[in-house]
Amino acid sequence: MIRISEMTAEDVTFARSLTDIEQWGHLEEDFQRFLEVNPDGCFVAWERSERLGIVTSVVHGDYAFLGNLIVAKEARARGIGLVLMKRVIDILDRKGVKTIELDGVFRAVEVYRMLGFRDKYLSLRFMRPASKGACIKGELTICRTPNISSILRFDRERLGMDRSNFLEHLIGTHPDATPSVIGRQGMSGYGVVRFRATGTFHIGPLVAGDTESASALLSSICAEHGKSDLTIGVPCTNTSAIGIVLKHGFCHRPPSLRMYRGAIRFYEDRVYGIISADVG
């Protein structure tokens, strides 16, 4: 019989091992962050004393993002994925969450539709191979020391939702890799760059008030980290974002489908890079 429990610190190594098999590049710190920011929103599926699957969620007010749905290969097609999904959706509904989003792989889309999710847009993925080549220089001033409260306010005002708890933890863990950019009227964008277990650096979130600021940030990040492979995820609705990542030498990789359940929200105009496929 399958039993579902809340994820605890003791499950983190297992969770990370599942993401390793899928080559998603997660680190244990990613799961520790879920547990610190949203301790009752992540679950593990068990059969007797064996862990078989996981799912995570992060909540920003009445908005939640669901990710890391993985079932161990030998236990698939027995309904475990569905049980995990139903549990996490039930908890989020009880918390009063009005919108749940996820980035679904195409083979799973039918199941998500069955659970009430609808299609929103293609969530594009890009990769920039390691290179020594020069990149486009921006004209704006880049700050290297993050002013966390300004970043949290900027993010809240641009997206219309409060991601403070999560971002504070993320930026606090990566203070040396959170450049921000100053425009005519103060801060006009910020980004976070994180090392991944796949040996790449992932850029996200990258939020900016205008394309010039986003481009300046991306130039600065490519100049600093471009000797490694870089990845970024971009909502297909933000065509300016697609333009600048292509200009900076990024290439398309297979996308996923951004889906939502409940009230639809539009906040992507200023999103030049999503946080990641599992966090939104």
Ligand X SMILES: CC(C)(COP(=O)(O)OP(=O)(O)OC[C@H]1O[C@@H](n2cnc3c(N)ncnc32)[C@H](O)[C@@H]1OP(=O)(O)O)[C@@H](O)C(=O)NCCC(=O)NCCS
Distance of CA 47 to the CA centre of its chain: 29
The tokens describing 119, both together, are: 């299609």
Footprint on residues 198-227 left by ligand X (CB under 6 A)? none
- Render the burial of 50-72: b for 16+ CB within 10 Å, e for the rest: ebbbbbbbbbbeebbbbbbbbbb
Minimum gap (Å) between residue 257 Cβ and ligand X:
9
Size of the site for ligand X (CB under 6 A): 16
- Asked whether position 1 contacts ligand X by CB under 6 A, the answer is no
- Asked whether position 42 contacts ligand X by CB under 6 A, the answer is no
Applying CB under 6 A, among 8, 9, 22, 86 the residue interacting with ligand X is 22
Applying CB under 6 A, among 12, 59, 64, 80 the residue interacting with ligand X is 80
- Please state, in angstroms and rounded to a whole number, the distance separating the CA atoms of residues 280 and 278: 6
- Asked whether position 259 contacts ligand X by CB under 6 A, the answer is no
Minimum gap (Å) between residue 219 Cβ and ligand X:
32
Between 24 and 154, CB nearer to ligand X? 24
Per-residue binding letters, 58-77, with ligand X (x by CB under 6 A): -----------xxx----xx
Piece of the chain touching ligand X by CB under 6 A; list 31-39, 101-109, 131-139, 181-189: 101-109
- By beta carbon distance, the residue nearest ligand X is 81
Minimum gap (Å) between residue 148 Cβ and ligand X:
31
Nearest to 231 by CA among 151, 133, 141, 123: 123
Between 92 and 171, CB nearer to ligand X? 92
Applying CB under 6 A, among 4, 82, 182, 223 the residue interacting with ligand X is 82
> How far is the CA of 92 from the CAs of 58, 132, 179, in angstroms?
10, 45, 33
- Asked whether position 279 contacts ligand X by CB under 6 A, the answer is no
On whether the CB atoms of residues 159 and 122 are closer than 8 A, the answer is: no
**Long-range CB contacts (< 8 A, 24+ apart) of 10-15?**
11/44, 11/51, 11/54, 14/44, 14/51, 14/54, 15/42, 15/44, 15/54, 15/56, 15/68
- Asked whether position 107 contacts ligand X by CB under 6 A, the answer is yes
- Please state, in angstroms and rounded to a whole number, the distance separating the CA atoms of residues 115 and 102: 12
Beta-carbon count within 10 A of 102 CB: 28
Minimum gap (Å) between residue 61 Cβ and ligand X:
23
Q: In the chain, what is the greatest distance between 2 CA atoms, to the nearest angstrom?
A: 61
**Residue 193 host element (H or E):** strand 186-195
Between 12 and 54, CB nearer to ligand X? 54
Applying CB under 6 A, among 25, 41, 104, 209 the residue interacting with ligand X is 104
The tokens describing 35, both together, are: 């547990």
Between 91 and 102, CB nearer to ligand X? 102
Q: Can you give the binding site for ligand X, defined by CB under 6 A?
A: 22, 69-71, 76-82, 104-105, 107-108, 111
